[in-house]
């Protein structure tokens, strides 16, 4: 444990970027399933 408190914002930014990408991929997967059912 040698990370100082100064790293917290970098961790937070990384988590926000990753969560954003994750939500996008999840929604894309759902939409694709719907479209595949329709076609």
Partner 1 sequence: MKKTLPWLLWLWISAVIVGAFYYAPLAKGFIGKSSRILFFHVPMAWVSFTAFIVAAVWSLLYLTKGRRESHDRAAAVAIQLGLLFGVLATVTGALWARVMWGAYWNWDPRQTSILISLLFYAAYLALRGAVDDPEKRGRLAASYALLGVVVTPFLFWVMPRLTYTLHPEPVVNADGKIEMESRMVQVLLASTFAFTVLFFWMHNLQCRLQALIARKAEAQE
Q: How far apart are CA 3 and CA 31, in angstroms?
A: 40
Residues of this chain, 4-33, that bind partner 1 according to CB under 8 A: 7, 10-11, 14-15, 18-19, 22, 25-26, 28-29, 32
Q: How far apart are CA 9 and CA 15, in angstroms?
A: 10
**Least distance to partner 1, CB of residue 29, Å:** 6
**Termini Cα distance of the chain:** 53
Contact residues for partner 1, defined by CB under 8 A: 1-3, 7, 10-11, 14-15, 18-19, 22, 25-26, 28-29, 32, 35-36, 39
């Amino acid at each position: 444990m040698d990370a100082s408190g100064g790293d917290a914002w970098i961790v937070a930014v990384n988590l926000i970027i990753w969560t954003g990408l994750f939500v996008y991929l999840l929604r894309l997967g759902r939409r694709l399933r719907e479209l595949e059912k329709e076609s």
